[in-house]
Structure 1
């Protein structure tokens, strides 16, 4: 057991697997985690034969009395692949599940459903933006609730070039206003572009995004008007292996990020690190290696990070065999 895991356990937390080898699907990926209004941790992911296959659906599990419930299908609405679930609890205490549906990423559609009993039952899925193809709403990471009450969802499309943008709702998800695509100078950021933003608000109206790219680095953009318009994207020193990352604004001036610190396009998805920033994302310090397997063929990827009543929780793909979850108390983060 690594030192950080011992510290987490000593503080009353844990790192465990959501399910084991008796899973009802061959592979899984793209987990998301949320804490419902009553404190229950809920995890979701897509699972099936393999990513993109027609049998892939959205699965879900709840942690009840200290143990994860067996995985059950949360959504399988048509005979095409389902992708990238995103859980999100709003200010009124309702928890929502967004996900993509479609045989190909460039033309997938976003659906969403909600629970008001802490994940026991869910509403029928609805299209988020009826008639849209390409992906409105959150593409991988959770929306944030801004200081003006709006939901801001980190979004991107992959029809040809990769184009990130922000989707804003002022009526609890009933309607959405899309920003322009973030401006990318293709003479500087070469390749397809950037996708899968992760957002935080540092002060009223000032919103920031880190972005996955194929350029070996995390890129960034900033907004001064609650996510309506954005600066041109610019490079950060953070390495990126063209895989997803996620950031959490903790509320005390600290940002926490989970990512693969690998600066090679399509490089290994190991190690997986938890890092902290105290200067609004200008610099980062490693808190711990959540996974540090030296085997370049191992995969610890697509993390999600949230604030919980006790501290933070992190979930991620574990070799496409299972989902690992860390429940990290405040005392372990000091």
Structure 2
């Protein structure tokens, strides 16, 4: 979907979206792939592309010091800086400790989620290892929960099946725990997952490339439970919100 606008949607506490606010626009020129990032200082950075063709894209950025209410003027990134391409990278990093990290990404040649580990802060990496999780070379995302478990959102046999898996050992093994949605005639892909300050897990994903769907659920403290009646952490809760696909650039940290 092509648009010459970059829009921001605000989500309020009662589960509704406010109307979109135009952050930037360029007449007759597409504005592409908005990516939001939150700094530890609470400053928001909005990266996006402007231009008709990928080879001629102009990389731009705006800043907000008021949680997205107001934004600075457009800044041009240096010619050698591309900025984020879309959402986030197609792989996800698990920080096990200061130097030990694990890279999780979709494997093009083996149709599985793959991992690689580094023990020197990312300077060198082990050989790629496929996991037991099937993946049709589609986008994945992960978050390390505050209790130490790792949650992964991914497609399995096709982009019409969205799955959630949990790991209790920093990605060495995984348990499939949830199928948020399955429809082999549609595309349910490019998941983005975060854990908010209340411990709720939010996943957004493409709904047939025309809309974005959002689900919210609780993670029990037991090793592999999600959305269970016996969960003492939060009551069973499943929220679904719909908006046109290109309007919601999801940022990683709440």
Using the size of structure 1 for normalisation, the TM-score is 0.58
Which consecutive segments of 4 or more residues in structure 1 shift more than 6 A?
Answer: none
Once the two structures are superposed, the pairs formed by residues 185-224 of structure 1 within 5 Å of their partners are 196-215=90-109, 216-224=111-119
Would the aligned equivalents of 1:310 and 1:330 in 2 still touch at CA under 8 Å?
Answer: no
Question: Is 1:73 aligned to residue 22 of structure 2?
Answer: yes
CA deviation after TM superposition for structure 1 residue 270, in Å: 1.3
Q: Is the 8 A contact 1:109 1:132 kept in 2?
A: no
Change (3 A) 1:119 1:273: same
Q: Gapped runs of 5+ residues in structure 1?
A: 1-49, 142-153, 155-195, 263-267
Q: Does 1:116 align with 2:65?
A: yes
| 2:153 and 2:163 in contact (8 A); partners too | yes
Mapping of residues 78-89 of structure 1, within 5 Å: 79-89=28-38
Higher RCO (Cα < 8 Å, 6 or more apart): 1
SS at match of 1:63: coil
TM-score, normalised by the number of residues in structure 2: 0.74
Q: How many residue pairs are counted as aligned between the two chains?
A: 220
| Aligned residues of 1:218 and 1:239 also touching (Cα < 8 A) | yes
Unaligned runs of 5+ in 2: 221-225, 232-254
The answer on whether the counterparts of 2:47 and 2:83 sit within 8 Å (CA) in structure 1 is no
Shift, 1:137, TM fit: 4.1
Shift of 1:260: 0.6
Q: CA deviation at 1:122?
A: 1.9
Tell me the distance in 1 between the aligned counterparts of 2:170 and 2:9: 33
Q: Is the 8 A contact 1:100 1:111 kept in 2?
A: yes
1:140 alignment counterpart: 87
CA distance in 2, matches of 1:71, 1:119: 12
CA distance in 1, matches of 2:24, 2:112: 34
Residue 321 of structure 1 aligns with which residue?
Answer: 210
Q: Deviations over 1:277-327 (max 9, x none)?
A: 11111222122111122xx33111111111201122111111223211223
- Choose from 117, 124, 128 the match for 1:233: 128
Between the aligned partners of 2:35 and 2:164, the Cα distance in structure 1 is 20
Aligned partners of 1:233 and 1:108: how far apart in 2? 32
| Separation in structure 2 between the aligned mates of residue 58 and residue 221 of structure 1, nearest angstrom | 35
* Match among 136, 139, 164 for residue 274 of structure 1: 164
